[in-house]
Structures are given as structure tokens and as C-alpha cells.
Structure 1
Amino acid sequence: MESIYEVARYFLTKESMSHKKLQKLCYFAQAWFLANYGKPLVPNRFEAWVHGPVCPDLYNRYRGWGWEKIPVERQPVLFDGAEVAGFLDKVYDIYGDYTADELERITHTDEPWNKARINCAPGSYSRNPIALKDMRDYYGERIGKVYGE
């Protein structure tokens, strides 16, 4: 398994971005990795916060940036598995051009996030975990649609 901080740093080598956008990219990386490989990319959990999925560990690392953009990461990021960087490149190719607000809207249509917030009023605080099984199953179904199966 990889470190959530290294995954975040990898995305930050691509561009300067807001904390919210970084959270969503890391969430999509976790979800699609689960769907493709049947195991988590990172050991950290994501929770169903009001603005979409959030990894609390990552939140605590970057919260000081507030709504400002986090600077580009200049140091290269190396992963244990050679396929990880290529996989993250694909995630970025799909979602990187979206704004943080657009990514938030996408995650709000996401079944795992909605399922974790089932008993929450719209706009209410939540620390409910998003189940790995729900992420794997939901995005696993999407793989067939992406590849026309």
C-alpha cells in the first residue's frame, strides 16, 4: 500500500491546486484502484463530509492552506510499485481538468458518498466513513461501462 501523502504529493507535481481538489483526486484514485485491483491504494479512510469525500489525515496535513492553492511539488515522488505512477497519471488525465467545485458535484452523485450520508440532512456535518466495499463495487460497475462491457 502507498502513503496518502505520497499520492497527494504526486498529484501536486502536476499543478498547484486547492485542498478540495486534492482531496477529490485522492478519493478517485482510491476508488478506481479498488475497482481495478480489488485492494486499497492507501490505508487511510475517506469520510462523507459535506463538500464530498475527505481523508481526515490528508485534511490535517493541508488544512493550513484553507481555500488557497497548495504550491506545486518540485521533488519527484517514487512509489514501491511501478504501476502506481501510471495509474495516478490516468486518474489525473480523467479528472485533472475539472475544478474543485466540479469534482465536488461529481462526488455528490457518487453512490458510496451518498450511502455514507444516508441519515444526514443536506449540508450537515458528517464524519461517516465511506465503505471500501461500496467504493469497490460502485466503481467496479463503472469499469464495464467505460470499456463498453
Structure 2
Amino acid sequence: VMEKVDGQLRRLDRMVGELLDLARPTEPRLAQVELGDPVRSAVELVQREFPAARIEVEGAGEALADPDLLGQILLNLLQNAAQAQDGAGRVLVQIDPAQVRVSDDGPGVPPANRRRIFDPFFTTRVRGTGLGLAICRRAALSMGADLHLTDGPLAGASFVLRWPT
């Protein structure tokens, strides 16, 4: 019983944190960032959470970004990609100059959900809050970047975080 209560408390704590992130956006502290560094940090965290996930990283690039916000975006995208495949599929992170693409070979996003995917509180998961991608897009825009869903190299979803060049 206590494990269930503890799990629910952690879930509520995460939800409150996400609501606060959405309600109180922070002013970004921009710096030139080698994109591979925060990607590797996020991959390491997600790999611990989903040890069966096969996460591959390719390429290199730099962008003017807030390292903390960028880390938050990457962590969320990688967790979503792993969760979409029950923690055991392939995730490909492609880094290019001023761009990071996170793709998975999960079921993808149905066409009917594509236009709502970044709306706050929109979710298709039973335990999802629907705040993660909304927070990610807001964080991307605050850094002068954009985050969008597109077709990618794998069968599932592909999210591209892109800075203007």
C-alpha cells in the first residue's frame, strides 16, 4: 500500500512541477552550446530509466541555447520516445548544425493527433499529464528555436528542435 501511495505522491509532485513550469516560464540564459554535450547527458539519464532502449547518437553541431532548458527538452523527448516503445525500441538522435532530431520506431503519432500534440493537457497516455511537449515547445521558442513534429528516418515519431541559421 505504501509503495502505491509513494508512487502517486511522486506523480503528483511531477504534475505540480510541470504546471509551474508552464505557468512561470523562465528567462533563458543563452550561451553557445555544443549540442552533443546535453544530448549525451540526457541519453545517459534515459538509458538508466529504460535500459532496454537502443539509443543512438549521430553528428555534431552548436547552437545559441540555454543549457538547462535544452537539457529539459532533450530529456522529455527521449523519455517520450522510449515510452512510446515500452522502453525497448530504437531511438535515433541526429545532431546537425543548429538542429537536433529525436526519432523513434514506435507507433508514431496518428494524423488526428498531430495538430494537437503541443497543446497543454493533450495526452494519449493513461498516466500522462499532457504538459511535457507544451513545456518543451515554450522552452524552445524562448531560446529563439522551434520544436515541431515531422516525418523522420524511422517508422515512429520524429521531433526536430531547430534554431535559425
Q: Higher helix fraction: Structure 1 or Structure 2?
A: 1
Q: Higher strand fraction: Structure 1 or Structure 2?
A: 2
- Point out which structure has higher relative CO (alpha carbons under 8 A, 6+ apart): 1
Q: Same fold (TM over 0.5)?
A: no
- TM-score (normalised: structure 2): 0.27
